[in-house]
Structure 1
Amino acid sequence: MTWNREDGVRGARPVSVGGGGVVEVACDESGSDGENLTGGNTDVFAHASVRLSVESAAAHVQEIRDRIRSPAEEYKANHLLREKHRAVLEWLLAPAGPLHGQAHVHLTEKAFFIVDRAVGLLLGDGNGGHDHDGDSSVEAVTLFREGPRTFGTERWRAFLAAANQLLRVRNDGRPQEPADAFFRTVDDLRRAHSRTPVAGILDRLAAARSRADSYREVVTGGPTLIPLLNPLLPAVVATAAHWSGDGRPVRLVHDRQNMLTEERIAWIEETARQAGAGLEGFRLVVAREDPRVQCADFLAGIARSIASDELNRRGDPVLTALLRPYVDTASVWGDAPSWARLRPTPGGTPVDSGVRSAG
């Protein structure tokens, strides 16, 4: 297999900014640590979107300010997450609240994202392990769920860190050192756990060194347009797929940030088209100048906090139940117990039916 840094953007269409009947949706994220998914500050990435008019969003932001009465110039999710403002948080998420039916959040469990991307690179199609139907590979799910109890906490964390470095574009040492370190880790695990449910997966990973070397040659050879390990880009594609699911084209308005370059926006649009999503435009704005993006920012931060609490077995059942209707069933999540509580279902009762992954 040969890696090409232009894959995924060749042939991208120009972004349309017009068109009648287009649904405009505002987006923001929370929990971004770039490609440092094992050593960052958060274990969950959340990408939220809202379908509100500018006027109604501005009214909601003002009502939050009136209810909280903080002197802060700019309100963030942490204002709503304080215990003394619990009533405001519940009002915001409640079925009778301002966001219900008009908002959506795509969640990424960072540790699982690393495993899913590494397995996809080495054992899958080479593009991160995702088909456009959104399913994670059986190997990724098996390794993620069996790895911690098979290897133990310390060795599992070492494997995640090595996989993170393998996939990461930035490297301050020798170009091939991330690959050398990853395969040393895999070999150590193979020797120690040769008769376990993940032994076959480890053997296949060990045999895929050529794919890893090819990938490292590309990412160290010059600017890489589409970082494999950043969850923002596939989350944006999943957001477009959700809002255009009824057949109406969607235009996304997103908080401005360095990750969303012209080339990466073109990749998002082309990938969304291949996935059948009707993404008809993408516009960057300054968050504080668009109250719709501020509402998305509130939801992203709230969702990340609630989901992280569930992941770490300290969830609040009331808040989780309030968040559940907003959660994307195509979220990238590997932990079965927390996903059973977070995942929305038609009947309103959470079930553990496996993991979906978008992008």
Structure 2
Amino acid sequence: MTWQDLEVCCDESGSDGENLTGGNTDVFAHASVRLPVDTAAAAIRETRDRIRSPAEEYKANHLLREKHRAVLEWLLAPQGPLRGNAHVHLVEKAFLVVDRVAELLLGDASGAPALFAAGRRCLGDARWGEFLRSANRLLRVRHDGDPALPVEGFFRTVDDLRRTPVPAVPGAVLDALAAARPRAEAYRAALLAGPPLVPVLNPLLPAIVRTAAHWSAGEHRVRLVHDRQNLLTPERIAWIEETARRSGIRLGGLRLVVAGEDPRVQLADFLAGIARKLASDELNRRADPALTALLRPYVDPHSVWGDETSRAPLIAEVTPSAPSADINSAV
């Protein structure tokens, strides 16, 4: 079969590396745009003409200002330049921490949603927040001081939480985590030998795989163009391409560009920043329902999101074909 090639341009917003619980943002967004270069350039010019800011480079925060709301609505609207030609994958960072620690220590993340849902409600903001931070410290590659401290801190926190009555399922997850100390120690020991190619907590690489899966549906093979990122080394690009291949995703390659040199990447940058801000507003109960509704058609239903209350307005509950196990484990 001859596949029809698509070139799709990507950018992200909300990257704090592996610091998912103490960074500047609580949501990570990876956006992608499929448009001809001249069409994207016309959309950028139209945006500049409507906003009329003297800034050399426009970013999402220009569009998010209240005085430019009409421009934001135009960009996201059904008649705008992006509808049907753009996609955004969202990651709720706190949930990713819980999901990854369950996967690493238990070999099964299926209990993570129940633990996450019960966490703040049953354990209180302070104690739940300390659990999230200790899990983040356990999983992140870098450490300060004694390498055993992240293990000690995490299991001390788990033991503290187990003294509070919680529903059966999250309670069982906490019990299982408490028994998984050997796995945690083995993980930290392995880090001393050298950092892994794919950091457990960094959301960018699996988000790129997920983006490729979205655009390669049907009879398409996708070639991705991405804003330059220090994380995207040749070795990691090879990992992305191999993970896609093993997952049956028709990814024809990934190349890096300077965002300012490709208007399609600039549009992806706009969408990523807008989506991150609107999703964070939804997560923190300060959402604008009209803007959330405009964003919703762009959001990947496979976004990594633990808070069901905030998920419902953001993510259309469609039932696309399930991603392969490789994608699930990567994300």
Normalization by structure 1: what TM-score? 0.87
User: Whole-Å Cα distance in 2 between the matches of residues 50 and 209 of structure 1?
Assistant: 43
Match of 2:36 among 53, 59, 63: 53
User: Whole-Å Cα distance in 1 between the matches of residues 51 and 176 of structure 2?
Assistant: 55
1:259-306: CA deviation from partner (whole Å, max 9, x where unpaired): 101111111111112222111110000000111100000000000011
> Which position in structure 2 is the counterpart of 1:230?
202
Contact conserved, 1:25 with 1:253, CA < 8 A, in 2?
yes
> Counting helix residues as a fraction of each chain, which structure ranks higher?
2
Match of 2:47 among 38, 50, 64: 64
Deviation at residue 215 of structure 1 after TM alignment: 1.0
Deviation at residue 220 of structure 1 after TM alignment: 2.2
1:228-277: CA deviation from partner (whole Å, max 9, x where unpaired): 00011111110000000123110100000101011111111111122221
Amino acid in structure 2 at the alignment position of 1:60: A
Query: CA, structure 1 residues 346+191, in 2 after alignment: closer, same or farther (shift >3 Å)?
Result: closer
Alignment of 1:154-193 (within 5 A): 154-193=126-165
Query: CA, structure 1 residues 195+24, in 2 after alignment: closer, same or farther (shift >3 Å)?
Result: closer
User: Whole-Å Cα distance in 1 between the matches of residues 311 and 330 of structure 2?
Assistant: 15
Please identify, of 309-318 and 271-280, the stretch whose mean Cα deviation from structure 2 is larger.
Answer: 271-280
> Which position in structure 1 is the counterpart of 2:188?
216
> Which position in structure 2 is the counterpart of 1:14?
none
Matched, 1:29 2:1: no
User: Whole-Å Cα distance in 1 between the matches of residues 5 and 25 of structure 2?
Assistant: 34
1:10-55: CA deviation from partner (whole Å, max 9, x where unpaired): xxxxxxxxx9731100000000000001110000000000001111
Contact conserved, 1:50 with 1:295, CA < 8 A, in 2?
yes
Match of 2:223 among 238, 251, 269: 251
Matched, 1:102 2:102: no
User: Whole-Å Cα distance in 2 between the matches of residues 98 and 177 of structure 1?
Assistant: 51
Moved >6 Å (runs of 4+): none
> Which stretches in structure 1 are left out of the alignment for 5+ residues?
1-18, 130-136, 348-355
Percent same amino acid among aligned pairs? Answer: 68
Deviation at residue 345 of structure 1 after TM alignment: 4.0
Secondary structure of the structure 1 residue equivalent to 2:162: helix
Amino acid in structure 2 at the alignment position of 1:40: G
Contact conserved, 2:41 with 2:264, CA < 8 A, in 1?
yes
Secondary structure of the structure 1 residue equivalent to 2:226: strand
Match of 1:326 among 298, 301, 325: 298
Amino acid in structure 2 at the alignment position of 1:100: R
User: Whole-Å Cα distance in 1 between the matches of residues 80 and 4 of structure 2?
Assistant: 26
Deviation at residue 218 of structure 1 after TM alignment: 1.5
User: Whole-Å Cα distance in 2 between the matches of residues 79 and 296 of structure 1?
Assistant: 14
User: Whole-Å Cα distance in 2 between the matches of residues 262 and 218 of structure 1?
Assistant: 23
> How many residues align structurally?
322
User: Whole-Å Cα distance in 1 between the matches of residues 15 and 302 of structure 2?
Assistant: 19
Deviation at residue 192 of structure 1 after TM alignment: 3.3
Contact conserved, 1:332 with 1:358, CA < 8 A, in 2?
no
Alignment of 1:5-20 (within 5 A): none
User: Whole-Å Cα distance in 2 between the matches of residues 230 and 299 of structure 1?
Assistant: 20
> Which position in structure 1 is the counterpart of 2:24?
41
Amino acid in structure 1 at the alignment position of 2:274: I
Matched, 1:198 2:170: yes
